Homo-oligomer: A and B are copies of this chain.
């Protein structure tokens, strides 16, 4: 029987349901189960192991915030490594920067990319159309281990939660290898979970504790992503020398004239202004 709605357990007790979603494709790969749905409210979306990754209604929020924040801090970034991001949305945003020379994307599961190219051209279309983008279907943890020292100016960790194939991307060893693979100006942006429900807060705290041990600058910024648990979602900004606010190159970024639906120079600043309960949880992270 065709499923005509989608329910995601945000926690054991809190469930998010899309009642106008029709399931149209399922595939189990060696890494995970991928399901595609079409919804009147959210457009096409897909899930990995039953958690929504991307939908057409609000993918712009996540992809704006992972991409433009670091580019507005260091507009001289030339080489970028995207880890995960199989839907292609992060690569799409990065490809808008003409100044970039190399965009390597490492996705463990080729099927996520191929199915996104088939069913989600909104996010995946640039993967075919930009010669600077190279796809690697490999484990991200191994890839950064083997990467040359100081070979990337920016690493974007566009990962799932730290269970299943994304688990290695939340380890100290992974962050150490990112540190090593980053140039002296390097910036690391990572999917940083959420402060609200205990399940995601636990992972937020663990990730931050590891990153702030390694990087001289380790900040966290927030955004409104209504289709992720609690709608309150975070990225980490870690860097060897750039501070996300003190080194914000507002005018330089604005001179590029990129049109964005979520990101702007105000929200660049505002996103780093965290509620007290989030600041305290991060401060106590160890």
Q: How many copies does the complex hold?
A: 2
List 27 contacting pairs A-B, 8 Å CB cutoff, sorted by A: A12-B20, A13-B18, A13-B41, A14-B16, A14-B17, A15-B16, A15-B17, A41-B197, A58-B196, A61-B275, A196-B226, A224-B230, A226-B231, A226-B232, A260-B276, A261-B275, A261-B277, A262-B277, A264-B275, A266-B273, A267-B275, A267-B276, A269-B269, A269-B270, A269-B273, A270-B273, A270-B274
Is A222 engaged at the interface, CB distance under 8 Å to the other chain?
Answer: yes
| 0 or 1 for each of A1-45: is its CB under 8 Å from B? (1 = yes) | 000000100011111111110000000000000000001110000
Q: How far is the CA of A260 from the CA of B277 in the complex (A)?
A: 8
Binding site for B on A (CB under 8 A): 7, 11-20, 39-41, 58, 61, 196-197, 222-224, 226, 230-232, 260-264, 266-267, 269-277, 279
Query: Given A226-B231, A270-B274, 10 other A-B contacts at CB below 8 A?
Result: A13-B40, A14-B16, A14-B19, A14-B41, A260-B276, A261-B275, A269-B269, A270-B270, A270-B271, A271-B273
Closest to A231 in B: B231
| Cβ B11 vs Cβ A41 within 8 A | yes
A19 contacts which chain B residues (CB < 8 A)?
12-15
Closest to A226 in B: B230
| 5 shortest interchain CB distances as A-B pairs | A231-B231, A270-B273, A270-B270, A13-B20, A266-B273
Contact of A276 among B15, B41, B263 (CB under 8 A): B263
Q: How far is the CA of A267 from the CA of B222 in the complex (A)?
A: 11
A224 contacts which chain B residues (CB < 8 A)?
196, 222, 224, 230-232, 275
Q: How far is the CA of A177 from the CA of B52 in the complex (A)?
A: 46
Q: How far is the CA of A273 from the CA of B277 in the complex (A)?
A: 20
Distance of A276 from chain B, by nearest CB (Å): 5
Q: How far is the CA of A1 from the CA of B212 in the complex (A)?
A: 51
A261 contacts which chain B residues (CB < 8 A)?
275-277
A272 contacts which chain B residues (CB < 8 A)?
266, 270
